[in-house]
Structure 1
Amino acid sequence: MMKEELLHEMIKNNCILFGKFTLPSEKITDYYIDIRNTISSPHVLKLISKLIQKKTKDINFDKIATLGLWATVIATAISLETQKPLVIISTERNKEPIIGNINPKDRLILIHDITTTGDTVLGVIKMLENLKTYVTAVIVIVDREEGAKEKIERKGYPFISLITTTEILNAKRDSTSDTHKATER
């Protein structure tokens, strides 16, 4: 039920845009997933937090690590819900790479907003492992279904996505169909 509500909120907030876009991975795509408007809602942040809490109830972790601005907003909400400390990882050059306390043997869940190839996430995992921490799971809000899940799981990390691009596209199609049916009446 919460997942359907999240999909509804994403469609309502026009999270999927169509056209020609270049992703951070340099990949050209016909659609772009923009979750900024969706996660600016306290209701949606709470919904995402509860979904992640439900999916991580059996995962043992000490802290929440996150990368990217939009994922940081989400991870902050999760940190408040779970009372687990937050560690922010910057992948930008000339920035402090880690904000927050991180210690050897910390068990972390890594939160990211959207994955495409998984390369950025794996780069962050490598950096965290060089600090002698353990990534116990990778959690993303949207999996674009373009190889990230498979690549991350092949490296031995559990991968959890709240929703996939296919689910967003289906929800968008269904909402458009419902709109057309309503206007025909």
Structure 2
Amino acid sequence: MSDDVGNIAGLAARVRAASHLTGTFLLRSGRTSSEYFDKYLFEADPALLAAVVDGLTGLVPPGADVLAGLELGGVPLATLLSQRTGLPTRFVRKKAKEYGTRRIAEGGEVTGRRVVLVEDVVTSGGAVLDATRVLREQGAVVEDVVCVIDRSEGGRERLAELGLTLHPLLTRADLDAAAG
């Protein structure tokens, strides 16, 4: 296990150094931001990704049956988290593919299973809400979401409205404190 897991400040500093960008960025929510946390930058670094997944491992609620990584950033996180926890994983597309199996959730059934969603960054929670609705329509029990970064911009509250509990590894406050 990484030393960073017991040291959220150290992990926040590493994630911020690897992924914090400034400029003008259009977010999925439609809002514009002057800063952006590029999850692909921390997910592409094997040592940092390992430290992040070590931290996420402790956030998976007891009783979970399946992890579900959201396309695209949640997929590598869910895959490694699956390896660490022994829980099977599913891969949730933004929309069902139009050929082959035409599934939105790949990797096996979710019906009757307690599914924990795995996401990289939560801002407004829109992608998580979309995935939750689809998985629940397929009979999954979805109550928990683990993420690397909660940008603290209303996502937690929006998720709670749909009965979801957000378990972030790092919050905006952690990342801001790491800025020095």
Q: How would you bin the TM-score normalised by the shorter chain?
A: 0.7 to 0.9
**Which residue does 1:16 correspond to in 2?**
20
**Which residue does 2:164 correspond to in 1?**
157
Secondary structure of the residue aligned to 1:162 is strand
State the alpha-carbon separation in 1 of the partners of residues 14 and 173 from structure 2. Answer: 16
Which runs of structure 2 are paired with 1:7-156 in the superposition (5 Å)? 7-13=12-18, 15-56=19-60, 58-92=61-95, 94=97, 96-156=103-163
CA RMSD after TM alignment = 1.6
State the alpha-carbon separation in 2 of the partners of residues 161 and 103 from structure 1. Answer: 23
1:51: Cα distance to partner? 1.3
1:2: Cα distance to partner? 3.8
Secondary structure of the residue aligned to 2:131 is helix
8 Å CA contact retained: 1:49, 1:78: yes
8 Å CA contact retained: 1:103, 1:133: yes
> Does 1:5 find its partner at 2:15?
no
Q: Percent identity?
A: 23
Secondary structure of the residue aligned to 2:153 is coil
Moved more, 93-102 or 65-74: 93-102
Give the structure with the higher percent helix: 1
8 Å CA contact retained: 2:16, 2:37: no
Equivalent residue letter for 1:59? P
1:93: Cα distance to partner? 5.8
Q: Which runs of 5+ in 2 are unaligned?
A: 1-5
State the Cα deviation string for residues 13-63 of structure 1 (Å, max 9, x = none): 2x111111111221111111112121222222222222122122x421111
State the alpha-carbon separation in 2 of the partners of residues 69 and 142 from structure 1. Answer: 15
State the Cα deviation string for residues 154-180 of structure 1 (Å, max 9, x = none): 2222111111123212212x1xxxxxx
8 Å CA contact retained: 1:60, 1:136: no
Secondary structure of the residue aligned to 2:58 is helix
Q: Which has the larger radius of gyration?
A: 1
8 Å CA contact retained: 2:9, 2:174: no
Secondary structure of the residue aligned to 2:52 is helix
Q: Which runs of 5+ in 1 are unaligned?
A: 175-185
Tell me the TM-score normalised to structure 2 length.
Answer: 0.87
State the alpha-carbon separation in 1 of the partners of residues 146 and 65 from structure 2. Answer: 15
State the alpha-carbon separation in 1 of the partners of residues 52 and 20 from structure 2. Answer: 18
State the Cα deviation string for residues 71-125 of structure 1 (Å, max 9, x = none): 1111111011011111000014645412110232111110011111112211110
State the alpha-carbon separation in 2 of the partners of residues 170 and 52 from structure 1. Answer: 20
